[in-house]
Structure 1
Amino acid sequence: MNKTLIGLLFLTFAAVVQAAEAPATSARNIVLVRHGNYVSDPAADPKLGPGLSPLGVAQAYLAGARLAAMPAHFDALYASPLQRARDTAAIIGENFPGRTFSVLADLEECTPPTRRTEITKDDKPEELAACKKQLDRLFDTHFIPAQGAERTEMYVCHGNVIRYLTTRALGVDTRAWLEMSVHHASITRIRVEADGRFKVINVGDSGYMPANMLTGATGDEKRSLEIPELPVAQPESD
């Protein structure tokens, strides 16, 4: 047996052994949760932004109950560094005692390029490009098949982030992200199959919230959980 044939046999054997040792790929289930309602606050940390409003707190509790009722075990929990997302994650986390969230910088809210240029006319092109790069990096890192057993992961983040990632999963023009609208504290689910194919299960599910608590999507009324003034009947005069 000549040296060339021996070398080929050795390489073939090594490739077979390596393939046998490599873990099989499985599906990865991505659960994206938008933060709850918030209001502008001039006193808020300029880097972290404002926290949740009372209505946002209530929305987050409802989302947490819905997530806890899901049959799947969450293998990883992630949150955006912004305060409204951290608050939402903290409330959701009460349904998962003993678990911790990892804060991902790439989950931070930003504005990627869109076909609706009238919306982004005041944004700098370099900022739009940086946002796209950030979200593409997030997608390419996390929206991949799982190694070994199937996984389910939760990401508490923002409307722009969720909509952009959904366009990536759908394989459509990512500049179309603004053609979707999702409620505060809504849930979007995307499945990455073992072979890398994507299945968008649902976008912006908020059916677990009463209609009078829905905010954040196009057409929603501005709502509040502040106590209104009691309408008191005036005594009749003689």
Structure 2
Amino acid sequence: MSYRRTVKLVCGLAAGGSAVLLCAAAAATESHHGHVSETHRDQAGRWVRFHVLQAAQPATTWSAGRHTGASTGLAWDVNWDKRDPSTLQTNEKKEKASEDPSTEQENGKPTATRHILLIRHSQYNLSGTVDHERVLTHLGREQAGFTGQRLAALGIKYDILVHSSMTRATETAKIISKYIPGVELVSCDLLREGAPIEPEPPVTHWKPDAVQYHEDGARIEAAFRRYIHRADPKQKEDSYEIIVCHANVIRYFVCRALQFPPEGWLRMGLNNGSITWLTVRPSGRVALRTLGDSGFMPPDKLTRT
């Protein structure tokens, strides 16, 4: 049986077909043509080709021209931020609704897009035992400068710069602000670093106590609900907001915003001073434009500590 005929035979089988059926069909074809005098080496070579071709078949189903992969069974929650216009009408408003309730609902729909740029703080003094000792290193201040230059070069009119109240995030935000003058700085305790949720799979080098997950998780989730959501209907223009905080917070935000399992937050890595860009559409749809972008820094300035 020729290799070309073997390929045709494999491709003719339904996706996910049995390897036993494949081999039986090949054997039957060989017997039909009387090819029974192959050497052991030839037979071994054909079996290898069979296995390679079988492994190449996609583990998915095909139907009516539609290619469908394995489904998790989890649909997108359109009201993930509890701001879907159709759910915001109170009973009183419904009673007073006009003859065309769709018009009233249209007037209450968001029309602006929110762009949220999450910045990880720059490198800091790891030997500090308390927060006020964990100041930026010389390299960290350089990194913050590169990030500020990058944000300025984008030519965007930023609406606000919110930062964690921890020293390393505060210092990073102040350096960045020099490159985008006129943008209001706001400090927020909710954005402090912490343990958002026990990671899956677990790691051996970092094992916070259960109480830390319990306390930090509630705080970081509260920060997510405050800052990551669709625009208010009263907002008429797209907004660009900068949030300077920490790797754990940013990674958790990304998982929650994309409706990925939040336990997977530790599977991502972020460089110091990197930019993660989330976009929240008026419909509530979320897109991740960049994750941990630090390509604007020289290679010798990159760190993740």
Smaller-chain TM-score range?
A: 0.7 to 0.9
Pick from 144, 147, 153: which aligns with 2:241? Answer: 153
More helix by share: 2
Q: What's the CA shift for 1:69?
A: 1.1
Q: What's the CA shift for 1:212?
A: 0.8
Question: Could you tell me the percent identity over the aligned residues?
Answer: 31
Pick from 119, 126, 147: which aligns with 1:33? Answer: 119
Would the aligned equivalents of 1:49 and 1:82 in 2 still touch at CA under 8 Å?
no
Read off the aligned partner of 1:77 and give its amino acid letter: L
Task: Return the structure number with greater relative CO, CA threshold 8 A, min gap 6.
Answer: 1
Read off the aligned partner of 2:192 and give its amino acid letter: E
Does the alignment pair 1:91 with 2:161?
no
Match of 2:140 in 1: 56
Does the alignment pair 1:76 with 2:160?
yes
Match of 2:70 in 1: none
CA–CA distance in structure 2, aligned partners of residues 56 and 134 of structure 1: 27
User: Measured at CA, do residues 97 and 12 of structure 1 come closer, stay the same or move farther in structure 2, by a change above 3 Å?
Assistant: closer
Q: Which runs of 5+ in 2 are unaligned?
A: 1-93
Pick from 100, 104, 116: which aligns with 2:184? Answer: 100
**Equivalent residues in 2 for 1:1-238 (5 A)?**
11-13=96-98, 19=105, 22=108, 24-42=110-128, 46-112=130-196, 113-115=198-200, 116-121=202-207, 123-147=208-232, 148=235, 149-216=237-304
Read off the aligned partner of 2:117 and give its amino acid letter: V
- How high is the TM-score relative to the length of structure 2? 0.63
Would the aligned equivalents of 1:48 and 1:81 in 2 still touch at CA under 8 Å?
no
Q: Which runs of 5+ in 1 are unaligned?
A: 1-8, 218-238
User: Measured at CA, do residues 10 and 18 of structure 1 come closer, stay the same or move farther in structure 2, by a change above 3 Å?
Assistant: same
Would the aligned equivalents of 1:40 and 1:50 in 2 still touch at CA under 8 Å?
yes
Match of 1:223 in 2: none
| SS of aligned partner of 1:127 | helix
Would the aligned equivalents of 2:97 and 2:104 in 1 still touch at CA under 8 Å?
no
Read off the aligned partner of 2:181 and give its amino acid letter: P
Read off the aligned partner of 1:211 and give its amino acid letter: P
Offset from partner CA, 1:118-170 (integer Å, 9 cap, x none) = 2443x111211222212221112211111222111000111111111111122
Offset from partner CA, 1:168-220 (integer Å, 9 cap, x none) = 12211111111100100000001011111110111000001111111017xxx
Offset from partner CA, 1:72-127 (integer Å, 9 cap, x none) = 21111100001111111010000122333100111101012212242443x11121
CA–CA distance in structure 2, aligned partners of residues 12 and 214 of structure 1: 57
Match of 2:55 in 1: none
- CA-based RMSD: 2.2
Would the aligned equivalents of 1:163 and 1:180 in 2 still touch at CA under 8 Å?
yes
Read off the aligned partner of 1:125 and give its amino acid letter: A
CA–CA distance in structure 1, aligned partners of residues 97 and 195 of structure 2: 49
Offset from partner CA, 1:33-81 (integer Å, 9 cap, x none) = 1111112244x6x244511000000000000000011132111110000
* Larger-Rg structure: 2
User: Measured at CA, do residues 175 and 49 of structure 1 come closer, stay the same or move farther in structure 2, by a change above 3 Å?
Assistant: farther
Stretches of 4+ aligned residues off by more than 3 angstroms: 14-25
User: Measured at CA, do residues 188 and 49 of structure 1 come closer, stay the same or move farther in structure 2, by a change above 3 Å?
Assistant: farther
